Amino acid sequence: MSRVLQIPGDHPYVRSACPPAYRAAVSPSVVPNPALSAAWLREHRSEFDIVHLHFGFEHLDADGLRRWVGELRALRLPLVYTVHDLRNPHQDGPGPHDANLDVLIPAAGVVLTLTKGAAREIRRRWGRRADVVPHPAVFDPALLTSGPAGRSGPPTVGIHLKDLRRNVVEPDRVVRAALAGAREVGGRLRIDLHPGALRRPELRRTCELGRRGEIDLRVHGRFDDAELASYLSQLDAYVLPNRFGTHSGWLEACRDVGTRVVAPSCGYYTEQWDDVVGYFNDERDGFDEESLSDAVRQALTRAPVGPVDAGFRRRQLALVRSVHTDAYTRVRPVALRERTWGTGRVAV
């Protein structure tokens, strides 16, 4: 059985999606990941047979990735690449990530992605087939029974602005539009921030709304998994405030606990779950406040969705791991042929 180096090595998605028997124990968990260097690959070459890249390569430019891919080829290491992001949410413009994708997607032996829309874009832009593998559950099932027994009080919509990622553009306008939609149906708006974002000028009006008590503004550190599950389970709806991006683990976390998601028109968020309410927010056309207010109204007045069925998530996880097993099986024979070519030995 192949040993697969996962990059990043210790991430909830990787831990869930990769069949445990395939994971190479050597997978690093630090940032930036040392496995994205040629020297590290050479030093640890005997410890894995396949490399599977997910994300975490923002510190490298296209030339750096070309050198890394060249080392993979020199070491006869096949690459599997899951395209989580067609537009990097941590970068101001699309150029650097586009250049990196121009290196990685053609170099990969197998390309995976999370939605049919993303697969169509990969086919259109690079002429590559991408196998679609759905995003599995985010939370351990035990966490889904340890939260509040039910929601009470007025319907609540939440937005967690964290440290104000680069893809959260004009957050004061987003908050104003979400608040207007919530008020129309007797609801309330909860805004969460990490301490580092409290004095950001982009949030001046939001902080003023919090001081006046017009929104429930909470400032705190990063949630652990149990705290995140509890937080989301207290919301009737959650707004993804992104102007650019592709897929969302937070959307899947909301799905786990039964919190309806209001998602922007950019990327392929609305393809991840058929109960998402969409609004207009993207890099080309900007943000439409009225569409968000309307989406929040819809989200708070529709029948509750309820937590995702545990049996469905088990079946989905089995499918996800089967797709990964198939990907590793497809690239392994190529690696064996390349290693034994010209030696007079037959790969088995």
Please report the sign of the dihedral spanned by the C-alpha atoms of residue 62, residue 67, residue 70, residue 75.
negative
Q: How far apart are CA 109 and CA 99, in angstroms?
A: 19
Q: How far apart are CA 304 and CA 58, in angstroms?
A: 38
Of 86, 139, 131, whose CA–CA distance to 320 is shortest?
Answer: 131
Please report the sign of the dihedral spanned by the C-alpha atoms of residue 222, residue 224, residue 225, residue 228.
negative
Q: How far apart are CA 5 and CA 37, in angstroms?
A: 13
Q: Fold identical between 4-137+315-340 and 141-301?
A: yes
Task: Specify the CATH superfamily of domain 141-301.
Answer: Glycogen Phosphorylase B; (3.40.50.2000)
Domain limits of the chain?
4-137+315-340, 141-301
What pLDDT does 38 receive?
A: 96
Strands of the chain, DSSP E: 4-7, 50-53, 79-83, 110-113, 130-132, 156-160, 188-193, 216-219, 237-239, 260-264, 277-279, 281-282, 286-287
Report the 10 Å Cβ neighbour count for 92: 10
Q: How far apart are CA 207 and CA 196, in angstroms?
A: 13
Report the 10 Å Cβ neighbour count for 152: 8
CATH of region 4-137+315-340, choose from 1.10.8, 2.60.120, 3.40.50, 3.30.870: 3.40.50
DSSP lists the bridge partners of residue 190 as: 158, 216
Strands of 48-113, DSSP E: 50-53, 79-83, 110-113
Concatenated DSSP letters of 161-201: -TT--TT--SHHHHHHHHHHHHHHTT-EEEEEE-GGGTT-G
Q: Give the predicted TM-score (pTM) of the model.
A: 0.92
Residues of the chain with pLDDT under 70: 145-150, 333-348
DSSP lists the bridge partners of residue 261 as: 238
State how beta strands 281-282 and 286-287 pair.
antiparallel
Report the 10 Å Cβ neighbour count for 42: 11
Half-sphere exposure for 105 (CA within 13 Å, toward CB): 25
